[in-house]
């Protein structure tokens, strides 16, 4: 018999895991993206995407998901913020939450407002360009929280509109990265996007980096940071300090010739 679970039961199963974001020049960890996971009895973390999608039209349930995420961040990340100075935390927050004015009270009740400069809200390209998304960008920045455009390259929305928004970080989708290694026109497009971000004073993060060749190429074209399985999947919070201390410098050294 199939079990049906209430939104609350589904939400209680969620926990946040953290994927490192790596400086392509030094290999140091500059940030983490918090990703919601459902931890299985064998310890594996499965994506919470299907659960969150099933709640998409239920604003109160979405608020409860974000409450849960903030509770995890308060417990997991604030002690790491206190111990290590220089990294940020990215969170995926639906614009409906920010636009309805619910983000700041949630952040306040979890004592996170004070960390505002080190928190980054990620909105997908598609979300950022909707009217709700534009309002959300403004509200997040007014609350002192930085904003990243996620999945850049998947929204078919045109560069011109992104230029009009005040944004801090551009996350370049894997679909723009992989072809750039083999196609000259795709490489030109990637370079153009990096140049645009630079002139808008936005930091760039390459998403979904999986190979050494991609990491070296991205560094060569001037992308700031990378995120992807090449360095690490999302990990449970207890692994964050070791990852910060170790960093990933060795992955960005040219292979030794001797």
- Contact string 150-189 vs ligand G (x = CB under 6 A): xx----------------------x---------------
Q: Which residues pair with 45 in a beta bridge?
A: 39
Identify which of residues 64 and 206 has a Cβ nearer to ligand G in the complex: 206
Q: Of the candidates 210, 216, 222, 235, which one interacts with ligand G according to CB under 6 A?
A: 210
> Considering the rule CB under 6 A, would residue 125 count as an interface residue with ligand G?
no
For residue 207, the partner it binds in ligand G, Mn ion, none, with Cβ less than 5 to 8 A by kind, is ligand G
For residue 96, the partner it binds in ligand G, Mn ion, none, with Cβ less than 5 to 8 A by kind, is none
Identify which of residues 36 and 243 has a Cβ nearer to Mn ion in the complex: 36
Residues 131, 136, 138, 141: what is their CA dihedral angle, to the nearest 10 degrees? -160
Question: Would you say 128 and 165 are in contact if contact means Cβ atoms under 8 Å apart?
Answer: yes
Q: Of the candidates 27, 45, 99, 208, which one interacts with ligand G according to CB under 6 A?
A: 208
CA distance 197 to 160: 12
Q: What CA–CA distances, in Å, run from 214 to 5, 25, 93, 168, 186? A: 42, 14, 28, 23, 14
Burial environment of residue 216 by CB neighbours within 10 A (0 to 12, 13 to 18, 19 or more): middle
Identify which of residues 168 and 207 has a Cβ nearer to ligand G in the complex: 207
Choices 8-16, 59-67, 68-76, 205-213; region in contact with ligand G by CB under 6 A = 205-213
Choices 134-142, 156-164, 175-183, 201-209; region in contact with ligand G by CB under 6 A = 201-209
> Considering the rule CB under 6 A, would residue 207 count as an interface residue with ligand G?
yes
Question: Would you say 32 and 40 are in contact if contact means Cβ atoms under 8 Å apart?
Answer: no
> Considering the rule CB under 6 A, would residue 20 count as an interface residue with ligand G?
no
User: Strand 88-92 vs strand 29-39: parallel, antiparallel, or unpaired?
Assistant: parallel
- Contact string 88-117 vs ligand G (x = CB under 6 A): ----x-------------------------
For the CB of residue 256, give the shortest distance to ligand G in the complex, in Å.
Answer: 25
Type and span of the H or E element at 94: none
Identify which of residues 122 and 173 has a Cβ nearer to Mn ion in the complex: 122
Residue 28 DSSP SS3: coil
CA distance 234 to 16: 9
> Considering the rule CB under 6 A, would residue 61 count as an interface residue with ligand G?
no
Question: Would you say 69 and 48 are in contact if contact means Cβ atoms under 8 Å apart?
Answer: no
CA angle 156, 161, 162 (to 5 degrees): 85
Residue 250, both tokens: 């060795």
- Sign of the Cα torsion 67, 68, 73, 79 reads positive
For residue 208, the partner it binds in ligand G, Mn ion, none, with Cβ less than 5 to 8 A by kind, is ligand G
Identify which of residues 49 and 101 has a Cβ nearer to ligand G in the complex: 49
Query: Which residue ranges make up the site for ligand G (CB under 6 A)?
Result: 19, 35, 47, 92, 150-151, 174, 207-210, 228-229, 234
């Amino acid at each position: 018999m199939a079990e049906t679970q209430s939104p609350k039961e589904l939400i209680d199963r969620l926990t946040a895991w953290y994927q490192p974001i790596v400086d392509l020049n030094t290999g140091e960890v500059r940030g983490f993206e918090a990703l919601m996971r459902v931890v299985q009895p064998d310890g594996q973390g499965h994506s919470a995407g299907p659960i969150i999608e099933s709640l998409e039209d239920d604003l109160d349930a979405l608020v409860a998901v974000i409450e849960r995420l903030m509770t995890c961040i308060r417990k997991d990340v604030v002690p790491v913020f206190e111990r290590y100075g220089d990294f940020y935390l990215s969170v995926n927050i639906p614009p409906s939450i920010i636009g309805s004015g619910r983000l700041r009270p949630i952040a306040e009740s979890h004592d996170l407002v004070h960390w505002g400069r080190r928190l980054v809200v990620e909105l997908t390209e598609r979300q950022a360009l909707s009217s709700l998304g534009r309002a959300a960008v403004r509200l997040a920045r007014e609350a002192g929280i930085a904003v990243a455009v996620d999945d850049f390259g998947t929204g078919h929305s045109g560069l011109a509109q992104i230029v009009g928004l005040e944004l801090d970080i551009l996350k370049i989708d894997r679909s723009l990265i992989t072809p750039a290694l083999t196609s000259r026109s795709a490489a030109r497009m990637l370079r153009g996007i990096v140049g645009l971000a630079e002139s808008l004073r936005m930091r760039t993060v390459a998403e979904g980096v999986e190979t050494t060749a991609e990491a070296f190429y991205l560094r060569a074209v001037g992308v700031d940071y990378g995120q992807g399985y090449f360095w690490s999947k999302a990990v449970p919070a207890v692994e964050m300090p070791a990852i910060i201390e170790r960093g990933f410098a060795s992955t960005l050294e040219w292979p030794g010739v001797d």
